[in-house]
């Protein structure tokens, strides 16, 4: 950890989607304790019963999964489709629940990976989407009033955003942000905070999930694609300053890119003043600050993490919650002078950063996004989802302590982390530690998969067994039901 930073005042609990920021130093001590001891997986006889659930109750999903393998690599189209022992096929999503093709019902804490802040298939959005489909269809390739309305609404609620360019996904938006930063500054180096996920573009598959891993996952990506991408450890401002100083001698840094809650949606949470210090460093070294708010955008409050921390980035990347679970959820926003370099149109002759997308800003996605944000603001969804996250975290902590388990539960509002294996918390700070971590990661990853399967067999859908997204649909009754199910799983350890 770096030296202590200046104190920072965060929003009052009553006004914030994140009621309190966790004690980061304490969390890292608990992470360290978790990964230094042997894993605590399910007992073998209990695991056999868990696997029996899938054999007995999920035959329809199993048949579809086997059929999928014939036509889809690995049988899975989406990385979030938890595949141990095989992916579930979902037939219905509504509010806080999912129902699979075999009729089994689950509490949904995946929430499509985070975008459905209002809960799945919210009727207010669905009604407006159906209206647009009847009147206009999903795409025209021309201007539509709702792309203007959505852009204006984003500018209204996100403090640093003067202009918005809508794109197809968070990955596309990250690509555009990097290109825009280089075009605006005339510099080439981009520093990301290590361990973060910024999509799967060639230049950002670097230092993913575990800080210090560089090109570990860059299979099929030429070295030249990541030649100007660098990483710096989270919470280590001294290391970041040194990198900025070296870059200054080599032409300068175009941008620092960060997930403002910390890598992997706060799996490695940052000190509450970290982002403010990044802003200062960017100003000092004449670099742009890019907030990847794909997860925190609207989930951390209508003003995102930038509103919560009161730190203004130059460029903001959005996705997920932007369209409330509907497709083509991506956008880049920022200062007007920076964003003007994205000016489009065939007749544009001024110097610009080129982006495109036939389906970007289509009427279906824009109307969904507009009404998703309108409903979220009207219903105070970020704060209510955050309170559900608080309730979940407190309940999990009580169960963990009562059962004497080494697991770590914490939340950043509606983003709840449940670390049981600690696979994403391994120390990779030098080559020797990285080698050890690669060997140990296999058993810890398998344990995480087994825990995820156990949650599923007990009627709980999570993100890979280690992350929980709460939503407006998660009432006290839903959370209490879920905690009973988690308790039943932890009893099997």
Report the side by side order of strands in the sheet with 97-100: 90-94, 97-100, 105-108, 460-461
Beta bridge partners of 48: none
The torsion angles phi and psi of 328, rounded to 5 degrees, stand at: 60, 50
Q: Which of 197, 371, 407, 469 is catalytic?
A: 197
Q: Which of 184, 187, 206, 292 is catalytic?
A: 292
DSSP H helices, 323-417, are: 336-339, 363-379, 381-402
Q: Would you call 198 exposed, middle or buried from its count of C-beta atoms within 10 A (0-12, 13-18, 19+)?
A: buried
DSSP H helices, 380-475, are: 381-402, 431-457
Beta bridge partners of 315: 290, 334
In the residue annotation, 292 being an active-site residue is answered as yes
Q: Which of 320, 371, 410, 474 is catalytic?
A: 320
In the residue annotation, 476 being an active-site residue is answered as no
In 3D, which of 109, 79, 209 has the Cα closest to residue 465? Answer: 109
In the residue annotation, 371 being an active-site residue is answered as no
**Sequence-ordered list of residues with C-beta below 8 angstroms from that of 223, at least 6 positions apart, any chain:** 215
The torsion angles phi and psi of 443, rounded to 5 degrees, stand at: -70, -35
Q: Is 367 helix (H, G, I), strand (E, B) or coil?
A: helix
Helices 123-135 and 363-379 pack at an angle, to 10 degrees, of 150
Catalytic residues: 197, 292, 320
């Amino acid at each position: 950890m770096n030296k202590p930073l200046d104190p920072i005042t965060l929003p009052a609990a009553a006004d914030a989607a994140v009621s309190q920021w966790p004690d980061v130093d304490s969390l890292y001590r608990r992470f360290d304790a978790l990964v230094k001891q042997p894993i605590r997986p399910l007992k073998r006889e209990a695991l056999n019963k868990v696997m029996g659930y899938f054999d007995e109750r999920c035959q329809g999903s199993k048949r579809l999964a086997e059929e999928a393998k014939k036509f889809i690599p690995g049988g899975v189209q989406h990385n979030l489709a938890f595949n141990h022992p095989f992916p579930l096929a979902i037939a219905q999503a509504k509010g806080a629940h999912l129902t699979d093709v075999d009729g089994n019902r689950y509490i949904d804490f995946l929430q499509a990976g985070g975008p459905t802040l209002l809960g799945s298939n919210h009727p207010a959005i669905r009604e407006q989407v159906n209206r647009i489909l009847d009147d206009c269809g999903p795409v025209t390739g021309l201007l539509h009033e709702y792309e203007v309305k959505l852009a204006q609404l984003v500018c209204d609620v996100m403090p640093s955003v003067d202009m918005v360019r809508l794109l197809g996904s968070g990955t596309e938006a990250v690509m555009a942000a990097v290109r825009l930063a280089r075009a605006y500054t005339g510099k080439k180096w981009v520093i990301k905070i290590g361990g973060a996920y910024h999509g799967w573009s060639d230049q950002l598959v670097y230092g993913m999930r575990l800080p210090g891993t560089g090109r570990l996952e860059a299979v099929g990506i030429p070295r030249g694609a990541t030649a100007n991408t660098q990483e710096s450890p989270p919470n280590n401002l001294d290391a970041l300053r040194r990198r900025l100083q070296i870059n200054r001698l080599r032409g300068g840094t175009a941008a620092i890119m960060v997930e403002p809650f910390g890598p992997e949606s706060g799996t490695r949470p940052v000190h509450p003043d970290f982002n403010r210090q990044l802003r200062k460093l960017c100003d000092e070294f004449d670099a742009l600050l890019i907030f990847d708010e794909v997860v925190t955008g609207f989930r951390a409050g209508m003003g995102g993490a930038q509103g919560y921390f009161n730190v203004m980035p130059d460029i903001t990347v959005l996705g997920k919650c932007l369209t409330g679970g509907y497709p083509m959820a991506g956008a880049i926003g920022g200062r007007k002078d920076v964003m003007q370099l994205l000016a489009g149109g065939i007749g544009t002759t001024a110097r610009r950063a080129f982006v495109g997308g036939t389906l970007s800003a289509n009427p279906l996605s824009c109307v969904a996004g507009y009404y998703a944000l309108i409903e979220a603001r009207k219903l105070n969804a970020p704060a209510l989802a955050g309170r559900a996250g608080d309730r979940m975290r407190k309940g999990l902590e009580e169960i963990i302590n009562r059962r004497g388990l080494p697991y770590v539960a914490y939340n950043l509002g509606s983003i709840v982390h449940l670390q049981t294996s600690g696979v994403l918390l391994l120390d990779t700070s030098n080559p020797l530690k990285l080698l050890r971590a690669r060997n140990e990661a296999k058993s810890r990853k398998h344990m995480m998969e087994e825990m995820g399967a156990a949650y599923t067999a007990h009627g709980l859908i999570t993100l890979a067994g280690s992350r929980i997204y709460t939503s407006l649909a998660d009432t006290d009754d839903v959370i209490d039901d879920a905690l009973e199910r988690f308790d039943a799983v932890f009893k099997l350890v």
